[in-house]
Amino acid sequence: MTLPRLAWLIGPALVAGVAYLDPGNVASNMTAGARYGYLLVWVVVVGNVMAWLIQYLSAKLGIVTGQSLPETLGRRIRNPWGRRAYWLQAELVAMATDIAEVIGGAVALYLLFGIPLVWGGAITGAVSIGLLLIQSRKGPRPFEFVVIGLLVVIAIGFSFGVLVAPPDPAGIAGGLVPRFEGTDSVLLAASILGATIMPHAIYAHSALARDRFAPRPAATWSLSDRAAPDATLAELRGISTRRLLRATKWDVTIAMLIAGTVNLCILLLAAANLAGVPGTDSLEGAYAALYAGLGPLVATLFAVGLLASGLASTSVGAYAGAEIMHGLLHIRVPLLARRLVTLVPALIILAIGFDPTVALVLSQVVLSFGIPFALVPLVALTAKREVLGGYRNRVWTTIAGVAASVFLITLNGLLLWLVLTGA
């Protein structure tokens, strides 16, 4: 496959990958680094490795079947009440995502321009509506270009400080050893994983891949025929489904390398420069400490990265939410209408004066509990011949998916037990 053709196929994973760099990630990683130094470096690394597998499986489902994960589940969950119950938890997860992203954008506008948080949230929502208009009127490719541009801004904004004040290599090496230090560190680990492996990114990626590589109307073919899908699914510009999947691996690899590196930089920046500094477990305090310790350029770039993060991720979140409702309830809600509805909870939180950083971290915990509901069906569906035919998961891929699911569910169960028992 030539480089220009490969470049043309890159994009859906980068857009979905923005969800891994939303303001909730920033709050969770900054808080973890400020409170515990390098302790939770291993959580970021493990989360990113699992994220690669999960996002690839999501994209594969969309490419091979021509359906998103919500659409597939909507057709397979026959009980209406079961389908509605599944939709409800997915909808709550999407709303938690929206809250984190709008609040993050509002905090960034406050840090940069002194705009009150409520107005900053409204502005963030308004700009995200403009981005969604691009997607709905111009199609997926222009939307990808805009979001990827914001991704570049995010990467520069959050990584520059690490270049100015490099972290301790020995501290990084020590942070790769898996361990916790009390209930709060487990809470933060769950928050980091909820921000790293986001349920709405799983739902969205399958839809983004479907929209970019939509299959032709399916001809009659047998699922027992390994070569059949290549003959009946979309062959864009003469590219077979098998080649699309190979290109998707590159797409996911690039997206996860960017997301993982930037997330690690956020935690390392806090660990190296904010650990033990009072008040730095909040975004505002972290900004002030960066301004005082590393200068206005680092602090300003950090705030600009936070703003780009809020704007880009809230658009992807609204896209995912609309897909969840359409796929599970068979109701198609316009993206703009959904954006207006899900903007309200975030504005209420800002209006009542609830601590924005606490709201961001808690929203990521909600996302962490939503992961199994997206991940378990994804692994199960992509392992079935009746769903993916010859493209179903290999045995080791399924084992890795099951291991990731068990790890995440166990961590969430441990977190719940620690919180309830006050341990």
Q: How far, in Å, are 43, 60, 109, 262, 388 from residue 227 at the CA level?
A: 40, 16, 53, 40, 11
Handedness of CA 296, 297, 302, 305 (dihedral sign): positive
pLDDT at 181: 86
pTM for the whole thing? 0.84
pLDDT at 153: 92
pLDDT at 239: 64
pLDDT at 222: 36
Distance CA 308, CA 159 (A): 14
What is the chain's pLDDT, residue by residue, as a tens digit (423 residues)?
Answer: 555 555 666 778 888 888 888 887 887 888 888 889 999 999 999 989 998 999 999 999 998 888 899 999 998 988 889 999 999 888 888 888 788 788 888 999 999 999 999 999 999 888 888 877 777 777 777 878 888 888 899 999 999 989 888 899 999 999 999 988 877 888 788 778 766 777 888 998 998 888 877 654 443 333 333 333 433 334 444 567 888 888 889 889 998 999 899 999 999 999 988 887 777 767 788 888 888 888 999 999 999 999 998 888 888 887 888 888 888 888 777 766 766 777 788 888 888 888 887 777 677 677 777 888 999 999 999 999 988 888 999 999 999 999 988 888 887 777 667 666 665
CA angle (16, 383, 1) in 5-degree steps: 55
Task: Give the list of residues 6+ apart from residue 265 with CB closer than 8 angstroms, or none.
Answer: 158, 159, 161, 162
**Where in the sequence is the domain holding 323, given as residue range(s)?**
3-421
CATH of the domain at 77: 1.20.1740.10
347: amino acid identity, one letter: L
Q: Across the chain, how many H-helices and E-strands are there?
A: 19, 0
Distance CA 194, CA 182 (A): 19
Q: How many domains does the chain have?
A: 1
296: amino acid identity, one letter: P
**What's the gap between Cα 288 and its chain centre?**
27
